[in-house]
Structure formats: C-alpha cells, structure tokens
A and B are shown apart, each in its own frame.
Chain A
Amino acid sequence: MTLLDDAVVHAEPVMGTVVSFHLYPGSGGDFEARAALRAACERLHRLDEIFTTWSPASAMSRFRGGRLRPHEVPAELPVVLELCRQARAVSGGWFDPWAMPGGLDPTGLVKGWAVEQALGLLGGAGLEGAMVNAGGDVALLGHPPGGAGWRIGIRHPWRADALACVIEAEGAVATSGCYERGAHLVDPRNGRPSQAAASATVIGPRLAFADALATALAVGGDEALELIGGLAGYEAYLIRADGTELATAGVVFS
C-alpha cells in the first residue's frame, strides 16, 4: 500500500499554466471527489476568462481600458479589486497592482485567489486532504493520508540539483522569483524592474494573499519580510539576491 493509492490526480491546463490537483477522498468517496474536481476546473476556466490580461476581450482587459460597461462587470471583479486594495495595504505598498507600468494589473493576486476558489469547491466534497498546485503556487486542504502534514519543497533559485529547503505548511504557499522569467517584477515605488530577491516565499492561510505577499517580498526584500512577519498567520522566507537567507520566526523548516 502506498499513501497515494487512493489519490485522485488531475492536471488541468488553464491560466497560462497547468494546475494540478491531488485529492485524497475521505468519507465522500471517489465519485464525489471527481465531481468536485470537475466543478473546480470549470471555476478556474471561468475566472481565467474574466481576468486574463492576455486577451483584450476579457472583462479585466476591458476594465483596464475603460471599455467595460457597468452592467457587464462580473461579480468577481470588485471582489478581486477589494482584495488587491487589502493586499496593498498590508504589504505597505510593496504589492501595488495600480502602480504597474502597463496600468492596473492584479495578476500577482488573481492566480492565487482563483486557486483558493477552486480549493473552496473541493472543500465540500468530504476530502481527507487536497493539494492544488498552480505553477508553484500551492493551496492545501486537510492533510495527506497517514496523519503527517504537507511538506513543500522550495525550489532553489540557482542550484539545479537541489531544493533550497523543505518547509511544513498548512493553508497556502506561494513563491515568487526572477530565475525563470527574468526580471519581470516591478518595484511599485519607481516602476523599475526589481531584483531584490532571488526567491521569495510566503506561507499563510489564504493563497490570494500569500501570492500577493510573495510578490511584495520579492520586491521589498528584508523590509517586506519584517512587515509580513507582523501579519497574523503569515510567514515569509527570503533568499536575497546575494544568496543569503532570511525567514520569519514561524517558518517550520523540515
């Protein structure tokens, strides 16, 4: 027997990446898990349709361009904008979708939020545990079979043959960094590309905020880490551009 014998596993190409699901059916059984999985995937596609900035026809793109009429505003849009406002406030402005050079860009929060929504749909299926991984942004529910917790490897920014570390987590883990896509993070204070961090990880109860705060940490470095350490339930782990590391007190390394 392996711990994975009863896992329902699925990979869904959506949101410009592949979102993978790992579900451990509990009392609800396999059938219910698969039904919830379908609902979760549909939700991700719907949210992608609304928020993608790749398509000029999406509600988000039209909103950015001032071309979205009031009656066309999807209910999800004000929700996301409010979360963005909250994330901007708690991050001390290090996360600021309104300060991006190309105009309003909530991308740093939307993926995490969408996955959080998908995980919420799985929550009603009586699962023992579930893990959703959207391109390295991980949302967790319950626990894996066997009673132990989730162990999340943090990708090493430079060393190809190693993880930077392994942490024990509940809730959500998001990592931001420049090592795969170049300097794509922007410092909201000056609109310039930022390379403050090699890798920025935030652990916390909500993936929407973990995602946004990981972006903030990648740009704000030490200063942002201190801020995040002061937020109830959130922890941060930073690999600075020079390779030195820093973590808040509550990070559980394994």
Chain B
Amino acid sequence: MKRGPVALASTAAGLVAVIALHSSPSPSPLAGGPTTTTSSPPPPSSTGSSPATTTTTALPGALLSAVGPSEQYGYGVISVKVTVKGHRIMDVTVASLQTAESYSQQLAQQAIPMLQSEVLAAQSAHVSAISGATYTSEAYLYSLQSALDRLHVS
C-alpha cells in the first residue's frame, strides 16, 4: 500500500482531516510515521457551543485528553472526549449525549461505537474523506475536532 504523510497534525486542522490522510505519488520522507508533521494553525472555529475543558501536561509523548463542545445534530446533542499521545489518537469516547426520543437514543448507541472505531481505523487508511450515510457522525466529528483543537495537536 502506498503511504502518504499520515498527518494526524491534519486532524487538528479540520473536521474532514480527522479522516483525511492523503495518498502520495511517491514515497515520502515522512512515510514512516505520523509524528514528524507540522501543520498550519487551526482555523477559527465557528461554533458557539459550550467551551471545552482541557487537561494538558507538558511532557512529550504523554497522554492528553480534551472534551469537545456539545454539538447539535439532527436528532440530539453530542460531545466527544479525545485522548491523544503525540500525534496519535489513542481513544475517543462520548462525554455526553442527549436525544429527543428513545429511537434516536437507540440509533446513536448503535452508531457511536462504530464511529469510535472508525476514527481510530481511518488513521491508518490514508483516505481523503469517508463517504457514507451520516447524521450523528458529523456532530461527533465536529466535537472531536474541537477537542483536538483544544489540545493543539499540530
């Protein structure tokens, strides 16, 4: 498989970049891993949601985690907690979830474990974007993005 610069740094730069890992026409000096990338600063977030909380430590390679703001999606409100080590997402969990009715709750409970794994899997998939039916996912990724921005993963 061709490997491009696997920029989790890019994850901090944008929502799609959570799953944006680009192919490269030729082997890149960075092909070996995601840890030596740099990135432009994240753009200003347009969200007016509640502020995220951040736990940080200065140690390189330490686990850092942050909770993203609550984001509306079609059927409820979700916020996401992300834990990173260096430039790698180690874990993604749901910090809070509210849905209008039990059907949506049920669907979200089915979708969220998939999304968690999806984010982790996409890190090694080298794709520009993921196409698929989504409702919960975008709010999930948006909150995740904001959480990553708080961590300045770049």
Question: Which of A's residues lie within 8 Å of B, judged by CB?
Answer: 1-13, 16-18, 20-22, 131, 133, 135-138, 144, 146-155, 160-163, 166, 173-182, 199, 201, 254
Please, how many angstroms separate the alpha-carbon atoms of A19 and B38 in the complex?
25
11 CB contacts below 8 A, A to B, read A4-B10, A4-B37, A9-B43, A136-B131, A148-B4, A153-B122, A153-B127, A163-B121, A163-B127, A180-B111, A199-B132
- Give chain B nearest CB distance to A166 CB in angstroms: 6
A2 touches B133 (CB 8 A): no
Asked whether B79 is an interface residue with its Cβ less than 8 Å from the other chain, the reply is: no
B residues 1-50 near A (Cβ < 8 Å) are 4-5, 7, 9-10, 13-17, 19-20, 22-25, 30, 37-40, 42-43, 45-47
B23 touches A151 (CB 8 A): yes
Please, how many angstroms separate the alpha-carbon atoms of A148 and B118 in the complex?
24
Please, how many angstroms separate the alpha-carbon atoms of A44 and B133 in the complex?
19
| Residues in B neighbouring A155, C-beta threshold 8 A | 118, 130-134
The CB with the most chain A CB atoms within 10 A, among B71, B121, B141, B145, is that of B121
Asked whether B94 is an interface residue with its Cβ less than 8 Å from the other chain, the reply is: no
B16 touches A2 (CB 8 A): no
| Residues in B neighbouring A152, C-beta threshold 8 A | 127-131
| Residues in B neighbouring A133, C-beta threshold 8 A | 15-16, 129
A9 touches B17 (CB 8 A): yes
- Give chain B nearest CB distance to A66 CB in angstroms: 27
A13 touches B135 (CB 8 A): no
B132 touches A177 (CB 8 A): yes
Asked, given contacts A2-B7, A173-B131, A180-B136, whether A146 binds B46 with beta carbons under 8 Å apart, the answer is no
Asked, given contacts A5-B38, A11-B46, A162-B121, whether A20 binds B130 with beta carbons under 8 Å apart, the answer is no
A18 touches B15 (CB 8 A): yes
Partner of A13, one of B22, B72, B122: B72
| Residues in A neighbouring B53, C-beta threshold 8 A | none
Please, how many angstroms separate the alpha-carbon atoms of A201 and B10 in the complex?
26
Please, how many angstroms separate the alpha-carbon atoms of A30 and B5 in the complex?
22
